Amino acid sequence: MTSPPSPAELVEAAGTGSPRAVARLISLVEDDSTGGPVLREVMRLVAPFTGRAAVIGITGSPGVGKSTSTSAYVTAFRKRGQRVGVLAVDPSSPFSGGALLGDRIRMQDHAGDNDVYIRSMASRGHLGGLSAAAPQALRVLDAAGCDVVLVETVGVGQSEVEIAGLADTTLVLLAPGAGDGIQAAKAGILEIADVFVVNKADRDGAEATTRDLRHMLGMAPSVEGGWLPTIHKTVAARSEGIDEVIDAIEAHRAWLTSTGTLQKRREHRAQVEIEALALGLLRRQMGRLDSSDALADQARAVAAGETDPFTAADTLVAAL
Amino acid sequence: MTSPPSPAELVEAAGTGSPRAVARLISLVEDDSTGGPVLREVMRLVAPFTGRAAVIGITGSPGVGKSTSTSAYVTAFRKRGQRVGVLAVDPSSPFSGGALLGDRIRMQDHAGDNDVYIRSMASRGHLGGLSAAAPQALRVLDAAGCDVVLVETVGVGQSEVEIAGLADTTLVLLAPGAGDGIQAAKAGILEIADVFVVNKADRDGAEATTRDLRHMLGMAPSVEGGWLPTIHKTVAARSEGIDEVIDAIEAHRAWLTSTGTLQKRREHRAQVEIEALALGLLRRQMGRLDSSDALADQARAVAAGETDPFTAADTLVAAL
């Protein structure tokens, strides 16, 4: 009988390209997403190997062909010799619903390719938000030597904003159809998209959708030295136009790097993540105060009209 | 020329029943909802006079007759000699959209009644959530001597859960119609409702809706000594069945008081409010650290792979 590998052993194995070790590590961070000791150990161990992967967010309404497109992008990145990770946080995706790395890959084109890691994650809440463990899973894929990580999420509710918060480059997929362009503007997608892809471009209306997008981009305020989102047409099911999209992603990355924007974005992302974790820690510290009755005492005083919630909060913070 | 009344003068005037002073105070807390000095002073001044009002949440889908019902409840409470406050946080309500206390009351039945305070508040976000200032406005109405405060909000998204967090007694309004009962179960309304009202009970299907509700309540796990939600039929537009609803509200309040549940709920509510305010304070403190570069330094270290977000958060919290 052998004992299960330790996090340190798993991180070492993941670094040498073991899909099984990557899968195990992601399971560990998913199972311990509230910040327990295992997650903390894994994050500490992978930190030195992170910061290399290009993180590409892929979002769009249901039916625009996100999964087919993601699969086509994987093929194209592989042809360029890149190791690719995929995080699918899309309830409508064929990768979702319990698909795992390695042994249960549903993305059949890439089965058996040890340089492609595919992982589906449960979405947080019914609006298709990102999984709470997505940033941690990203770090694992990054540390495992992925050159590119594609994060696919359905474009509803908060998820497209969340994905833009995680990704270096955000692709917004659209399909031809009346009002799609206007919907895009409504959802604030214009502000998060670095690259627009009009997929299913062999259908009626592709030209109109492209024109609408171009019109809206023309009206958007442009920033001196900023990135002007590009628009591309694809038929992902027939692999048409995919290389142009990959070229656009690489052009955006070159722009991010040369202007220092990549560094700034990553630092900002780290700030947001650290702040959220710090507030979580403080909330738990107050929880401990709670059991020692400090919060409960203040609450009783507020309920009795002896103090007000603001003064109570001041007292509590001072006691931390 | 006289200077505008101070918060202390306004609180005194509100205590003697001045609708204008109440309106001014609510405007002050609404305008300063981020926790500035004026809001803090008002909260401190009103605290000793709070804790007396019965807070009744009224929620339900658009079209069930919430506004007509609220107006009918106000009339019924007034007949029982109660001073009534109304907070309407319902974008579809005729009270909403800039209606004010006193001079711009749209609830014409109660215009000129100095013992009825009506206030509409903008909802937070497009899903109709409660206004951020709702708890503070509630405190003002409570301190102004309202025996009852009715908080009306449309039952979509988070609002029905939020209202249950604020209210002592939560009314869920339904109208006859296929699937309404099932919708109620889906939305988790069963868990928050203390009193169900099937309004528009003169319409087809009222009996079926009542039966569905009764059936679902029968299946819900009952708690020993717990409150079993009651079901009532009304035609608010003709004031039919209203007294039975008011009786049910008062019966629920008697149960809350006799079992000590009222005290527990209010303390829990105060805990949640204090904790949220304390976390807001800590977030601002971290913001100050940010400008002194502590958070930015940690973010740079994470982006460079020198540390991980969890260790960085620990460091930041230790520095507070």
B123 has a pLDDT exceeding 70 = no
- What residues of chain B lie within 8 A of the CB of A161, using their CB? none
Alpha helix (H) residue ranges in chain A: 7-15, 19-31, 37-46, 66-79, 134-143, 159-166, 180-186, 189-192, 206-219, 242-258, 261-291, 294-303, 309-319
- CB contact under 8 Å between B273 and A35, yes or no, is no
Cβ neighbours of B285 in A, within 8 Å: 317
Q: Which residue has the higher pLDDT, A319 or A154?
A: A319
Give pLDDT tens digits for B246-284.
999 999 999 999 999 999 888 888 888 888 788 878 877
Partners of A298 on chain B (C-beta within 8 Å) are: 270-271, 274
Structure tokens belonging to residue A153 = 């999420």
CA A282 to chain B, closest CA, distance in angstroms equals 7
Domains of chain B: 50-258 (3.40.50.300), 270-319 (no CATH)
User: What's the whole-model pTM score?
Assistant: 0.65
CA–CA gap between residue A56 and residue B159 (Å, rounded): 35
Q: Which of A281-295, B194-208, B298-312 has the highest mean pLDDT?
A: B194-208
Q: Lowest mean pLDDT of A47-61, A261-275, B34-48, B172-186, name the range.
A: B172-186
Q: Report the residue from A268, A279, A295 with minimal CB separation from B282.
A: A279
List phi, psi (to 5°) of B275.
Answer: -60, -45
d(CA A128, CA A160): 9
Tell me the pLDDT tens digit for each residue of B190-240. 778 899 999 999 999 899 888 888 888 877 766 777 898 999 999 999 999
Q: Minimum mean pLDDT among A159-163, A300-304, B271-275, B294-298: which range? A: A159-163
What is the ipTM for the molecules in this complex? 0.75
Q: Which of A281, A298, A302 to mutate to test the interface with B (most CBs of B within 10 A)?
A: A302
Give the strands of the sheet with B169-174, arranged side by side. Answer: B116-120, B84-89, B148-154, B54-60, B169-174, B195-198, B230-233
